[in-house]
Amino acid sequence: MAYATNVGVVTVIATEGLTKRYPRVTALDRLTVDIKTGVTGLVGANGAGKSTLIKILLGLSPATEGGAKVLGLDVATEGAAIRAGVGYMPEHDCLPPDVSATELVVHMARMSGMPPTAARERTADTLRHVGLYEERYRPIGGYSTGMKQRVKLAQALVHDPKLVLLDEPTNGLDPVGRDEMLGLIRRVHTDFGISVLVTSHLLGELERTSDHIVVIDGGTLLRADSTSDFTQATAALAVEVTDSEEQLLEKLTAAGLTAHSDGRLLLVDIAGDETYDTVRDAVAELGVGLVRMEQRRHRIAEIFRGESHDSAA
């Protein structure tokens, strides 16, 4: 993958035995994880400790035990310096309805210490980058959920941070809005050069966006890996044809592919780009209709389940 050859890879977040206990619940339990530059997906069910981790990383909530460094700065003592170089997009609504996106983002840029002129220029740039144009002068109260999410992202980016922490940025979006937001998040790293930590409780949606995936559950680290490691084992192509599934299975096996049937679907392990050609040719030779051919979704979900069983065993 691209990040492996990227010479700029450094650790942006490092936690060491990070523990956070509340009177009745342990939100984080000896979490040790290293997060590099790039897009990192932080996956966990609701209550897994994602938001607690973000609060600690911003230096706003002290750890009970252990420690963490963000951009090389200690969360316990250098919170203000961390927050100067980090952007944060909250999970919930956080936008006043009576001001325009421009006014809000300019104000927030100034709260990050940007001089007035720079704040206005950066606001105009950032809002355009997240895809808000003429509507940015209208009060936020009239925006759609997708537009509001963009404003929230813009205020996290306006001061040109080195890292942004995005808490459930796809929450409340419809499938199209979700894809657009994920594409935007990808661009934050590839085009803007800003590292991203993005949380989600939906396991499937982060795999296309993230270079790395960190899975936490009950405040403990379940797995941290690059996305390719996660998906390699089960990278599969689901093929559905109108007829003759068995002959197709034989043909594919004969062509050296690993495949098995799953109901009406054939699951073919992807050995490389040529796999698609092999499948297409085999289907064409049989003369049957190809209903669909798609990469299987929720692969991470399967791994996640597998890991849970392993760790439980």
Partner 1 sequence: MTAQPDVTPDVIHDIGYRHYDGPRLGRAYARRSLYSQSLRGAYGLGRSAKSKVLPMILFAVMCAPAAIIVAVAIGTSMTKLPVEYTRYAIIMQAVISLFLAAQAPQSVSLDLRFKVTPLYFSRPIERIDYVAAKFAALATALFALTAIPVAILYVGALLAKFDFGSQTAGFAKALVAELLLSLLYAGLGLLIAALTPRRGFGVAAIIAVFTLSYGAVSSVQAVASVQGNPGAIGWLGLFSPITLIDGVQTWWLGSTSSYVDAAGPDSALAGVVFLVVLLAVIGGSFGLLMRRYRKVGLS
Interacting residues toward partner 1 by CB under 8 A:
55, 58, 60-61, 80-81, 83-84, 86-88, 90, 92-99, 103, 107-108, 110-115, 118, 122, 125, 128-129, 139, 155, 159-160, 191-193
- Least Å distance, CB 135 to partner 1, is 17
Length of the chain: 313
Nearer to partner 1, 115 or 289 (CB): 115
Q: Which is nearer to partner 1, 119 or 270 (CB)?
A: 119
Q: Shortest Cβ distance from residue 150 to partner 1 (Å)?
A: 15
For residue 307, which amino acid is it? E
* Shortest reach from residue 112's CB to partner 1, in Å: 5
Q: Which is nearer to partner 1, 160 or 225 (CB)?
A: 160
Shortest gap between Cβ of 128 and partner 1 (angstroms)? 7
Nearest approach, Cβ of 132 to partner 1 (angstroms)? Answer: 14
- Look at residues 85, 110, 105, 107 and name the one whose alpha carbon lies nearest to residue 160: 85
Phi, psi for residue 192 in degrees, rounded to 5: -95, -15
Q: Taking the complex as a whole, how short is the minimal distance between the CB of residue 9 and partner 1, in angstroms? A: 19
Q: 95 vs 202, which CB is nearer to partner 1?
A: 95
Which residues, in sequence order, are bridge partners of residue 39? 196
Pairing of strands 65-70, 11-21: antiparallel
Compute φ and ψ for 272, nearest 5 degrees. Answer: 170, -175
CB atoms within 10 A of CB 59: 21
Cα torsion for 233, 234, 239, 240, to the nearest 10°?
A: 150
CB of 87 to partner 1, least distance (A): 8
36 versus 122: smaller Cβ distance to partner 1: 122
Residue 9 vs 81, nearer CB to partner 1: 81
Tokens 């790395």 map to which residue? 212
Considering the complex, state which of residue 28 and residue 108 has its C-beta at the smaller distance from partner 1: 108
